[in-house]
């Protein structure tokens, strides 16, 4: 059975079922087995925290919340995520959550894609057999299975440092820096009214202002 917990006080600990809850709701509780899903940069920590004006404080708050989730497990903790997922009608590629990378490597075990890579999610499943590119589906040829598509074939940017660009939320600004973050470009923009913002190019959807 599966129970969606809305009222923690009603949780019957002597019954055997899967309990779905938020990390906030999990405070003060413990379970033999805990599963944390969506452990990806852009989800946890959230994209808004990553690009926030007060990013350090926002990320630290989410880091504490992640610690709450991890320490709910008495015996076994499983961390999962997706290299690729559909968000707002678009396919997005994600890196493993930076919080996972902060966990001491000696306490981690198992990996579906890279046995000893900290950039892969850890499971007890056997490593899948690799096939030649000719036999792979077309979608599988666009990235290599490591670090959530770190080697994705990025789309070239139509703007550069010094160019004026427009963002749907922050308005018009000047591109201050562009860094190749592997799976995506990390862009810093000095917006006329919102100040400097750092963002991933694939999320930002910046448009060059002629």
For 71-85, write each residue's pLDDT tens digit: 989 889 999 888 888
pLDDT, position 110: 64
Residue 67 lies in a domain: yes
Note whether 85 and 33 are same-domain residues: yes
Read off the pTM: 0.50
**CB-based contacts of 194: which residues, under 8 Å, 6+ apart?**
169, 170, 171, 173
Residue 199 lies in a domain: yes
Instruction: Write phi, then psi, for 34 (nearest 5 degrees).
Output: -130, 140
Residue 71 lies in a domain: yes
Note whether 133 and 172 are same-domain residues: no
Compare 171 and 137 and report the one with higher pLDDT.
Answer: 171
111-120 mean pLDDT: 44
Note whether 42 and 125 are same-domain residues: yes
Note whether 114 and 19 are same-domain residues: yes
Note whether 138 and 170 are same-domain residues: no
Q: Is the pLDDT of residue 115 over 80?
A: no
pLDDT, position 205: 87
Q: 46-55, 77-86, 101-110: which has the minimum mean pLDDT?
A: 101-110
- Rounded Cα distance between 31 and 19, Å, is 10
Residue 69 lies in a domain: yes
Note whether 98 and 178 are same-domain residues: no
Q: Is the pLDDT of residue 159 over 90?
A: yes
Over pLDDT 90: what percentage of the chain? 20
> Domain limits at 87?
2-142
Q: Is 171 helix (H, G, I), strand (E, B) or coil?
A: strand
Note whether 168 and 204 are same-domain residues: yes
Note whether 92 and 191 are same-domain residues: no
How many domains, the chain?
A: 2
Of the candidates 81, 156, 151, the residue with the CA atom closest to the CA atom of residue 120: 81
Q: How far is CA 159 from CA 155, 156, 169, 172, 174, in A?
A: 12, 9, 18, 13, 10
pLDDT, position 8: 55
Q: What is the DSSP letter of 156?
A: P
- Rounded Cα distance between 67 and 70, Å, is 5
pLDDT, position 125: 39
Note whether 124 and 198 are same-domain residues: no
Q: Is the pLDDT of residue 67 over 80?
A: yes
Note whether 97 and 174 are same-domain residues: no
- Greatest mean pLDDT among 10-24, 145-159, 161-175: 161-175
Tokens of 51: 């690009």
pLDDT, position 103: 83
Note whether 30 and 124 are same-domain residues: yes
Residue 86 lies in a domain: yes
Note whether 85 and 168 are same-domain residues: no
Q: Is the pLDDT of residue 191 over 80?
A: yes
């Amino acid at each position: 059975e599966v129970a969606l917990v809305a009222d923690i006080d009603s949780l019957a600990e002597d019954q055997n079922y899967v309990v779905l809850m938020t990390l906030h709701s999990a405070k003060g509780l413990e379970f033999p087995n805990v599963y944390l899903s969506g452990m990806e940069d852009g989800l946890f920590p959230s994209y808004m925290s990553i690009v926030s004006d007060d990013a350090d404080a926002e990320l630290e708050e989410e880091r504490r919340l992640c610690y709450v989730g991890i320490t709910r497990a008495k015996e076994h903790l499983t961390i999962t995520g997706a290299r690729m997922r559909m968000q707002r009608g678009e396919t997005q590629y994600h890196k493993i959550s930076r919080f996972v990378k902060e966990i001491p490597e000696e306490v981690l075990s198992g990996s579906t894609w890279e046995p000893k890579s900290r950039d892969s999610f850890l499971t007890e499943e056997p490593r899948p057999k690799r096939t030649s590119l000719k036999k792979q589906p077309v979608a599988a040829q666009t990235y290599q299975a490591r670090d959530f598509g770190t080697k994705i074939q990025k789309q070239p940017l139509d703007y550069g440092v010094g160019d004026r660009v427009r963002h749907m939320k922050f308005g018009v600004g000047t591109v201050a820096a562009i860094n190749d973050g592997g799976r995506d470009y990390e862009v810093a923009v000095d917006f006329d009214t919102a100040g400097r913002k750092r963002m991933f190019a694939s999320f930002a959807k910046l448009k060059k202002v002629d």
